[in-house]
């Protein structure tokens, strides 16, 4: 049995699922998988790096993919589903995803589509996956047009987050997760935003108690938002703060920029945009930038990134309506534009082009 109360419970149209945050919980994964997916024939999906660093111990076939966004494709999804069918899996299948955000999105999409849907269990092993990607039931893959454009909402039976495994993370991956956590503070909890800044050094030094608290607080924020708006028809859009620009950066750099770094830059650019639109004070973007720099993340667009290419990539964002770009924009730390029910703001390409041209120099931010 899971020995702790869940950090949060996420509700959805078909029921709910718990999110457990407990150091050491990954060591009990075989027993917990059997408990949470009872009577099912299990299959584990992981990546090569995680497979070496976090042994799952489940006596079941393990399907291994290469780490990174290059695996989050329809071709890889097809290969995994075909392999499960080759192995004779049927409606008694249960998928266990052990890995970061890519593995979770990919394995979840396999579970969502295999025989029109089988149960699955999320075991996030990166900080980004623990605080963000594993909560909310989104699954999917990337295409040549952009990120996460083919997928399904398919909630897991549970999420098991073990902050102890974060000791194996590369510093850049730790930083990526801290960016997403800071984003949660930006969009919904000013006190949490300040708490992360105050504890930045200790978090970067992998203080176990603080990391456990960080994961639990982020999970509670995200669970509250997605429980209210499962299918992203309203307030859930605020969780896309920084992501319209961030996903565009990832696309034009062929995913060589880590997701967290792309979102960090996106948060600053979009705060500049909010100021240009008269939604936020001028001080907002510098405040966000300084908080991100405490976490060791980049905050400015690279001079070599072409504005036209960035705008073209933004045109494929899932929030676009017709030919109009739409952004989830902060108005101050802890609050977002759109409380009247819209939650995203239309922006012309001409204005976005001006903002991009000013987001390459620190002088704009002070």
Catalytic annotation on 194?
no
Annotated catalytic, 180?
A: yes
Burial 89-106 (b: 16+ CB within 10 A, else e): beeebbbbbbbbbbbbbb
Q: Is 259 a catalytic residue?
A: yes
Place of tokens 């319209």: 244
Active-site annotation holder among 243, 275, 289, 297: 243
Among 118, 122, 106, 109, CA closest to 159 = 122
Assign residue 343 a region (left: φ > 0; alpha: ψ between -120 and 50; beta: otherwise).
left
Is residue 240 among the annotated active site residues? yes
Active-site residue, selected from the candidate residues 69, 180, 230, 250: 180
Distance between CA atoms of residues 81 and 114, nearest Å: 7
Q: Which residue in 69, 217, 240, 289 is the catalytic one? A: 240
Of residues 56, 173, 220, 247, which has the active-site annotation?
247
Active site residue 116: yes
Select which of 22, 232, 250, 270 is catalytic: 232
In the set 236, 251, 275, 326, the catalytic residue is 236
Which of 154, 183, 259, 326 is catalytic? The answer is 259
Q: Where are the beta strands (DSSP E) in the chain?
A: 8-12, 15-21, 41-47, 62-65, 93-99, 120-124, 138-143, 146-153, 159-161, 325-327, 330-332, 335-336, 345-347
Residue-wise DSSP of 341-360: S--SEEE-HHHHHHHHHHTT
C-alpha radius of gyration, the chain, whole number: 20
- Which of 147, 183, 222, 294 is catalytic? The answer is 222
Helix (H, G, I), strand (E, B) or coil at 336: strand
Mark whether 281 is an active-site residue: no
- Cβ atoms within 10 Å of 200's Cβ, excluding its own: 18
Read out DSSP for 264-307? Answer: HHHHHHHHHHHHHTTSS-TTHHHHHHHHHHHTT---S--TTS-H
Catalytically annotated residue among 56, 72, 138, 294:
138
How far is 277 from 23, CA to CA, in rounded Å?
44
Cα gap 323→177, rounded to integer Å:
32
Cα-based angle 137, 209, 206 (whole degrees, multiple of 5): 85
Residue 154 is a catalytic residue: no
351: which 2 tokens? 């204005």
Catalytic residues, by residue number, are 116, 138, 180, 222, 232, 236, 240, 243, 247, 259
């Amino acid at each position: 049995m899971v020995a702790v109360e869940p950090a949060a419970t996420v509700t959805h149209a078909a029921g709910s699922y718990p999110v457990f945050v407990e150091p050491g919980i990954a060591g009990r994964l075989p027993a917990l998988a059997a408990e949470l997916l009872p009577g099912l024939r299990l299959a584990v999906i992981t990546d090569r790096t995680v497979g070496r660093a976090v042994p799952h111990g489940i006596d079941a076939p393990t399907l291994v993919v290469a780490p990174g966004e290059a695996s989050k494709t329809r071709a890889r999804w097809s290969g995994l589903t075909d392999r499960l069918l080759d192995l004779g899996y049927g409606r008694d299948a249960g998928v266990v995803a052990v890995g970061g955000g890519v593995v979770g999105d990919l394995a979840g999409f396999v579970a969502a589509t295999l025989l029109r849907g089988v149960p699955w269990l999320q075991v996030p092993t990166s900080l980004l996956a623990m605080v963000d990607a594993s909560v909310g039931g989104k699954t999917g893959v990337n295409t040549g047009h952009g990120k996460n454009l083919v997928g399904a909402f398919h909630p897991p039976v549970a999420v098991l987050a073990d902050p102890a495994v974060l000791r194996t993370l590369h510093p850049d991956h730790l930083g990526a997760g801290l960016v997403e956590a800071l984003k949660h503070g930006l969009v919904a909890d000013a006190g949490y935003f300040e708490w992360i800044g105050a504890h930045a050094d200790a978090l970067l030094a992998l203080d176990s108690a603080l990391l456990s608290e960080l994961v639990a607080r982020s999970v509670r924020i995200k669970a509250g938002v997605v429980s209210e708006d499962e299918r992203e028809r309203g307030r859930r859009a605020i969780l896309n703060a920084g992501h319209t620009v961030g996903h565009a950066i990832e696309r034009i750099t062929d995913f060589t920029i880590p997701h967290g770094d792309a979102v960090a830059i996106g948060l600053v650019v979009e705060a500049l945009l909010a100021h240009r639109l008269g939604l936020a004070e001028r001080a907002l973007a510098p405040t966000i930038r300084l908080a991100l720099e405490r976490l060791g993340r980049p905050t400015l667009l690279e001079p070599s990134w072409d504005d036209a290419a960035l705008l073209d990539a933004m045109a494929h964002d899932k929030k676009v309506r017709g030919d109009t770009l739409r952004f989830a924009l902060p108005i101050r730390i802890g609050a977002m534009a759109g409380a009247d029910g819209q939650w995203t703001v239309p922006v012309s390409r001409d204005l976005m082009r001006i903002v991009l041209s000013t987001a390459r120099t620190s002088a704009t931010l002070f």
